[in-house]
Amino acid sequence: MADTPVIEAMARTGTGKGAARSARREGLVPGVIYGGGEDPQTINIKHNVFLKALKAGKFMSTLVNLKVDGQDNRVICRAVQKDVVKDLPTHADFLRLSARSRINLYIPVDFINEEECPGLKKGGVLTVVRNEVELKVTAGDIPEQLVVDLTGLDVGDTINISNINLPKGTRPMITDRDFVIANISAPSSLKSADDEAADEAGEEGGEEAAAGGEGGEE
């Protein structure tokens, strides 16, 4: 299971615009938790705590444990309202999830057994195209990471999403192609040698063509 970020929050007793304005004056971001078969709950989050989580990236697709006065809430953020001038958060909506809820999340990719990879032993380079993949997952069974086994891979080999064993009930959000996760590229020294050989072949071909043209004029 993936480690779930924790955000501390406080229950907000008041409702409406007045209570929200009061919370913002106190350095808090007002919000609401809804869904999951329970009544909506109004909350406040410290502004600096919420801003830090927001700036961490992909907040709208990250499962969060929103602790309201110590009580756990498995949620995902569905909307963030911002001040049009300062571009700072002024309100947040969170969807409460059950263990069976289906959501989209970005899952990191981990590469293992580099010492068993012939391509890397030859001096090849692991070129990572995607270090994380957006997946449709079940909230109660979120993988911590996707594992790519590099054992036996050689220079020129490519790892696609189809080469990764996804957990049951999980699928990539990109479904129209077998997209690339990474590949084993040739060493830069080998690339340089190939480029020089290609240049020499091109020069020789050009000289032969020129010689042929001179012969035709005689």
- 16 vs 12, 31, 77, 96, 179, CA distance in Å? 11, 11, 20, 21, 47
Residues 62 and 122 in one domain: no
Residues 87 and 118 in one domain: no
pLDDT value for 217: 46
Residues 43 and 63 in one domain: yes
**Gap between the Cα atoms of 151 and 20, Å rounded:** 56
Q: Is residue 1 part of a domain?
A: no
pTM confidence score: 0.63
Q: Is residue 139 part of a domain?
A: no
Residues 78 and 117 in one domain: no
Say yes or no to pLDDT of 161 above 70.
yes
CATH number reported for the structural domain that contains residue 15 in this entry: 2.40.240.10
Residues 14 and 71 in one domain: yes
What pLDDT band is residue 42 in, cutting at 50, 70 and 90? very high
**Gap between the Cα atoms of 136 and 107, Å rounded:** 10
C-alpha triplet 11, 17, 22: angle, nearest 5°: 60
Residues 11 and 90 in one domain: yes
71: how many CB neighbours lie within 10 A of its CB?
10
Q: Is residue 92 part of a domain?
A: yes
Residues 117 and 185 in one domain: yes
| 160-164: average pLDDT | 96
- For 38-55, b where at least 16 C-beta lie within 10 A, e where not — what string? eeebbbbbbbeebeebbe
**Gap between the Cα atoms of 28 and 26, Å rounded:** 6
Residues 31 and 113 in one domain: no
pLDDT value for 106: 87
pLDDT value for 1: 46
pLDDT value for 56: 87
Q: What is the mean pLDDT of the chain?
A: 86
Residues 77 and 126 in one domain: no
What pLDDT band is residue 101 in, cutting at 50, 70 and 90? confident
User: Lowest-confidence range among 11-20, 129-138, 191-200?
Assistant: 191-200
Q: Is residue 114 part of a domain?
A: yes
Q: Is residue 128 part of a domain?
A: yes
- 127 vs 79, 110, 111, 136, 192, CA distance in Å? 35, 13, 11, 25, 18
Number of domains in the chain: 2
Domain limits at 65?
Answer: 6-96
What pLDDT band is residue 194 in, cutting at 50, 70 and 90? low
Residues 79 and 121 in one domain: no
| 166-179: average pLDDT | 92
